[in-house]
């Protein structure tokens, strides 16, 4: 564990010209849900500090928790989000048509989770390979008939796959690029496993959305890095890859979809335009990030004061979403059982367990109708439309949701 004044070198370019953006304190691992037996045991907490590299513009946390501790037994299954399934099915249909994929091609996904995306290629008769280090989640995908390696992806695994002739026409990496402690090894792996004509599609939260929409709860120990196009372009260029195209998408509060290929062609006009936009907006300079911490603490004061007022009026408050972002928000803002009675979550993997740090019981969503809290703090605000629609019965009973980000509002 590092000390409170530790300044890391950059994960991407290695420079030590690092500036502190935000310090969220000592918090538990966001997905380290507890059993009833663990409630009396000490919890590991780690510093959660956000930094900016003034050389390559990568935003990153300073602490590196071992990936085996973070991901070996994972509590997040993508298939429990209708939004993620719809998003994945649409993308697969688009790519299968554009790339004219057939049984002669191979699609690989890094961090393939429970097969939520690869299942749609499989339905089209296109060979797939999943790579997923969390054994409990990988077994779900294997049960769906999706070949899955239970391993972490890096250049070593990629080299073994390439030696077997297991080269990919498309590599998907959705919401995993941020989870990689060493992005250089990850990009080297992409280079080894991609066919000469292959492409990698990487989706990752966009640092511009995080800063401008105050999405501070996207910061947790599993997310080592927070990318801009500029930082990714620099990283790829060092390893003879290129960002061939880029697209802003709405998933997870605002993300970028990078299309990565072997170097040689010209990048799209969208890449050129966004690089210029980022420079003009200041994303390559620390001044852009300087006041972010002040905005976060003002949001904390607003949310906590609202909760204090509601509790003083006798309101009962629950929370929706035993999520990583919910853990960051509650633990960094010191929101505990004094404010929140319980948490509900759609995933059976999480139900019956307790949230890290504040030890709130996790129940199924039906508890909202059964127990009828007056308000529900929506921790998974990135799926707000989906959840508000799913919880129509609770809302029809008079229940209201508190949406905390980017500003506190009650719906």
Angle between helices 229-238 and 269-281 (to 10 degrees): 120
CATH number for the domain whose boundaries are 304-410: 3.40.50.720
Task: Give the mean model confidence (pLDDT) for residues 109-132.
Answer: 94
Confidence of residue 4 (pLDDT cuts 50, 70, 90): very low
pLDDT at position 13 is 96
Task: Give the mean model confidence (pLDDT) for residues 342-360.
Answer: 95
DSSP 3-state of 51: strand
The CATH 3.40.50.150 portion of the chain extends over 78-288
Q: Write down the pTM of the prediction.
A: 0.89
Average pLDDT value for the chain: 93
DSSP states along 125-150: T--EEEE-S-HHHHHHHHHTT--EE-
pLDDT at position 76 is 54
Angle between helices 183-193 and 229-238 (to 10 degrees): 60
pLDDT at position 134 is 86
Residue 1 pLDDT > 60: no
Is there a contact between 178 and 169 (Cβ–Cβ < 8 Å)?
Answer: no
Task: Give the mean model confidence (pLDDT) for residues 305-318.
Answer: 98
pLDDT at position 361 is 98
CA atoms within 13 A on the CB side of 225: 28
Across the beta sheet with 255-262, what order do the strands follow? 148-149, 128-131, 107-110, 168-174, 194-205, 255-262, 241-249
Residues 34-77: pLDDT tens digits? 999 999 899 999 999 999 999 999 999 999 998 777 765 555 55
List Cβ neighbours of 180 (8 Å cut-off, separation of 6 or more).
186, 224, 225
Secondary structure element (H or E) that encloses residue 262, with its range: strand 255-262
**How far lies 372's CA from each of 46, 302, 367, 377, in Å?**
35, 25, 8, 13
The CATH 3.40.50.720 portion of the chain extends over 304-410
pLDDT at position 88 is 87
DSSP states along 152-177: --SHHHHHHHHHTT--EEEEEEES-G
Residue 190 pLDDT > 80: yes
Residues 360-403: pLDDT tens digits? 999 999 999 999 999 999 999 988 998 999 999 999 999 999 99
Residue 119 pLDDT > 80: yes
Residues 254-299: pLDDT tens digits? 899 999 999 988 999 999 999 999 999 999 999 999 999 999 999 9
* Angle, alpha carbons 330-336-342 (nearest 5°): 95
Domain 78-288, what fold? Rossmann fold (3.40.50)
Percent of the chain topping pLDDT 90: 85
Measured CA to CA, the distance from residue 195 to residue 101 in angstroms comes to 14
- Alpha carbon 152 to its chain's center: 17
Task: Give the mean model confidence (pLDDT) for residues 140-158.
Answer: 94
């Amino acid at each position: 564990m590092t000390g409170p004044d530790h300044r890391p070198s950059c994960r991407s370019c290695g420079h030590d010209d690092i500036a502190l953006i935000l310090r969220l304190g000592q918090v538990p691992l966001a997905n380290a849900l507890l059993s009833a037996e663990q409630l009396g045991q000490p919890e590991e907490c780690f510093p959660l500090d956000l930094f900016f590299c003034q050389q390559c513009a990568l935003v990153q946390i300073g602490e590196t928790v071992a990936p085996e501790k973070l991901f070996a037994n994972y509590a997040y299954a993508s298939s429990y989000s209708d939004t993620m399934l719809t998003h994945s099915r649409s993308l697969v249909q688009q790519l299968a048509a554009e790339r004219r994929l057939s049984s002669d091609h191979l699609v690989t996904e890094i961090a393939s989770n429970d097969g939520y995306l690869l299942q749609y290629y499989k339905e089209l008769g296109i060979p797939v390979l999943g790579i997923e280090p969390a054994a409990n989640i990988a077994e779900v995908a294997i049960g769906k008939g999706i070949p899955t390696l239970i391993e972490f992806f890096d250049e070593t695994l990629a080299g073994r796959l390439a030696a077997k002739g297991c080269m990919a026409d498309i590599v998907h990496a959705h919401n995993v690029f941020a989870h990689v402690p060493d992005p250089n090894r990850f990009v080297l792996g992409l280079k080894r496993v991609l066919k000469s004509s292959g492409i990698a599609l990487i989706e990752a939260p966009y640092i511009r959305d995080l800063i401008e929409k105050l999405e501070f709860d996207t910061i947790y120990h599993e997310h080592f890095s927070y990318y801009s196009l500029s930082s990714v372009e620099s990283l790829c260029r060092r390893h003879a890859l290129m960002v061939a195209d880029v697209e802003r998408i709405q998933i997870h509060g605002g993300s970028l979809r990078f299309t990565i290929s072997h170097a040689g062609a010209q990048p799209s006009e969208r890449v050129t335009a966004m690089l210029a936009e980022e420079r003009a907006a200041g994303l390559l300079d620390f001044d852009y990030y300087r006041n972010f911490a002040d905005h976060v603490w003002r949001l904390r004061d607003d949310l906590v004061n609202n909760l204090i007022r509601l509790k003083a009026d006798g309101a009962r408050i629950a929370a929706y979403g035993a999520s990583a972002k919910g853990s960051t928000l509650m633990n960094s803002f010191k929101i505990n059982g004094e404010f929140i009675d319980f948490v509900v979550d759609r995933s059976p993997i999480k139900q019956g367990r307790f949230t890290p740090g504040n030890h709130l019981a996790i129940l199924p969503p039906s508890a909202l109708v059964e127990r009828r809290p007056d308000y529900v703090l929506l921790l998974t605000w990135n799926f707000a439309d989906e959840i508000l629609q799913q919880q129509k019965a609770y809302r029809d009973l008079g229940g209201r949701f508190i949406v905390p980000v980017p500003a506190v509002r009650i719906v």
